[in-house]
Structure 1
Amino acid sequence: MEIKPSTTIRKDYNGFSKYCHEIDEPVILTRNGEADLVVMSHETYRRKEARIKLQSKLLVAEKQIAEGSQLLDDEEVIGKMRRKINASKED
Structure 2
Amino acid sequence: MNLKPSTALRNEYRQVATLAKASGEPIIITNKGEADLVLLSVEAYEEREKMLDHRASILEAEFSRLAGAPTYSVEEVRSRLKEKYENA
Relative to the length of structure 2, the TM-score reads: 0.77
Unaligned runs of 5+ in 2: none
Residue of structure 2 in register with 1:10 after alignment: 10
The superposition leaves residues 65-90 of structure 1 with CA deviations (integer Å, 9 ceiling, x where unpaired) of 222312352465xx8xxxxxxxxxxx
Larger radius of gyration: 2
Letter in 1 for 2:69: S
Query: Within 2, Cα distance between the matches of 1:55 and 1:5?
Result: 33
Q: Structure 1 runs of 4+ off > 4 angstroms? A: none
Pairs within 5 Å for 1:47-62: 47-62=47-62
Q: Does 1:70 align with 2:70?
A: yes
Residue of structure 1 in register with 2:40 after alignment: 40
Q: Does 1:20 align with 2:23?
A: no
My pick for the range that moved more, 36-45 or 64-73, is: 64-73
Query: Within 1, Cα distance between the matches of 2:63 and 2:39?
Result: 34
Residue of structure 2 in register with 1:82 after alignment: none
The superposition leaves residues 5-37 of structure 1 with CA deviations (integer Å, 9 ceiling, x where unpaired) of 111121121111101001101111001111111
Relative to the length of structure 1, the TM-score reads: 0.74
